[in-house]
Amino acid sequence: MTADLRSWAAEIARVELEGLPRRWQHTQGVARQAERASRVVDDPDLLVAAAWLHDVGYAPRLIRTGVHAIDGARFLSELDASDRLCGLVAHHSCACVEARNQGVAIEWPDEHTVVRDALWWADMTTTPTGGVTGVQDRIDEVLNRYGPDHVVARSVDEASEELIAAARRTERLLAELIQV
Ligand SMILES: [Fe+2]
């Protein structure tokens, strides 16, 4: 799967998400951002594959717990994806907060690496229709879209400091790359 990891991931994402036009547009945008960040990570294929697959759990046929990050990771595990890929998807953009708030356990650890930060950055700098945005604007957009009482909005609000910190770490690495 390694050599073709990116195309494997892109094809699974297309099959599962094409029927959800906004999720599919967003996913393609996140994959583009991940490509941009791929030069600052040690495993670009893994980062881009995780970007393609991070929201696969929104596919209606894959919904089990209702926490899309967990449903996506469990689906990928059934496809024999690596534990690292499953863990990145399960924890993307601080999904552990929503999982905790929904009482759902996560079987994989959060790897706390540059790849993980870059995935969060790619997701948090991409609009629902695949455009590029700033992290704070993206957080505000989620809060507005779901409304303050929704568990997703409450969870993103709770996670906002961690989301911003991960994005800043990635942006610093990207900035260093430009200066070299
Ligand atoms: Fe996303």
- For 5-179, CATH gives 1.10.3210
Q: What's the pLDDT at 168?
A: 98
Cα of 136 vs centre of ligand 1, distance in Å, is 15
Burial class (CB in 10 A: 0-12, 13-18, 19+), 78: exposed
**Residue whose C-alpha is closest to residue 126's, from 71, 20, 54, 39:** 54
Distance, CA of 120 to CA of 14 (rounded, Å): 20
User: What percent of the chain shows pLDDT beyond 90?
Assistant: 96
Dump pLDDT digits (tens) for 1-52: 555 999 999 999 999 999 999 999 999 999 999 999 999 999 999 999 999 9
Cα of 23 vs centre of ligand 1, distance in Å, is 8
Residues listed for the chain: 180
136-171 burial by CB neighbour count: b if 16+ within 10 A, else e? eebbeebbeeeeeeeebbbbbeebbeebeebbebbb
CA-angle at 152, arms to 148 and 154, nearest 5°: 45
Q: Which of 13-17, 162-166, 174-178 has the lowest mean pLDDT?
A: 174-178
Q: Which residues are found with C-beta within 5 Å of the ion, ligand 1?
A: 55, 123
Distance, CA of 38 to CA of 53 (rounded, Å): 16
Cα of 2 vs centre of ligand 1, distance in Å, is 23
Q: What is the mean pLDDT of the chain?
A: 96
Over residues 163-177, the mean pLDDT reads 96
Cα of 180 vs centre of ligand 1, distance in Å, is 30
Dump pLDDT digits (tens) for 63-84: 999 999 999 999 999 999 999 9
**Residue 22 in tokens:** 């906004």
Cα of 123 vs centre of ligand 1, distance in Å, is 5
Q: What's the pLDDT at 70?
A: 98
